[in-house]
């Protein structure tokens, strides 16, 4: 028995939005880490 195509489309859409959110979280955490490093270096000097 095959699954309906609409469910596959919904799953694909959910997967795309999940990967988009994960990428956004990753970018924000990298920016946050970079800002903390710059701040600590400027305090050290």
18-42 pLDDT, tens per residue? 888 888 889 999 899 888 888 888 8
pLDDT of residue 43: 78
Query: Does the pLDDT at position 3 exceed 80?
Result: no
Question: What does the CA dihedral 23, 28, 34, 36 come to, rounded to 10 degrees?
Answer: -150
CA angle 6, 24, 20 (to 5 degrees): 15
Query: Does the pLDDT at position 1 exceed 60?
Result: no
pLDDT of residue 7: 82
User: What's this model's pTM, rounded to 2 decimal places?
Assistant: 0.53
pLDDT of residue 42: 80
């Amino acid at each position: 028995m095959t699954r309906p195509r609409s469910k596959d489309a919904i799953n694909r859409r959910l997967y795309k939005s999940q990967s988009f959110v994960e990428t956004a979280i990753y970018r924000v955490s990298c920016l946050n880490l970079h800002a903390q490093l710059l701040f600590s270096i400027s305090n050290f000097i």
